[in-house]
Amino acid sequence: MEHRIQHDVLYVAIRQDVLSTGVRDLFDKLHALQKDPQVQQSSWRTLELDLTGTKMIDAMGLNFIVQILKLAKERDAKAKILIQDKNLDRLLRFTRMNEHAEVVCA
């Protein structure tokens, strides 16, 4: 998981499937991101989650995505999820993640 802040956007990219087998590492990185002074002190107003390198998400992965979206909600910021896979589009709509973040097919 990589991140950067550009202008008023916190950009977070995940270049792997978000599955229970690797989600613990992603949660550790998310906790570090939440404590990062640059993230805390910056005036970002949009969280952009790039999942264009992701093909599969399981139940633990969905929980991880919910936690990332909470980071935006705590700041009253907008959230956007970038995807390429049509199956992920269906999954995010089925789980109603599209009601909490704008889902964009890149």
- Rounded CA-CA distance 24/10 in Å is 22
DSSP E strands, 1-106? 2-6, 9-13, 46-50, 78-83, 102-105
Q: Give the structural domain span for 27.
A: 2-105
Residue 86: which H helix or E strand, with range?
A: helix 86-94
Q: What is the CATH number of the domain that holds 47?
A: 3.30.750.24
Q: Which tens digit of pLDDT belongs to each residue from 6-42?
A: 999 999 999 999 999 999 999 999 999 999 999 988 8
- Asked whether residue 57 carries a pLDDT value surpassing 90, the answer given is yes
Domain count, the chain: 1
Helix (H, G, I), strand (E, B) or coil at 52: coil
Pairing outcome for strands 2-6 and 9-13: antiparallel
Q: What's the average model confidence in pLDDT over 41-58?
A: 95
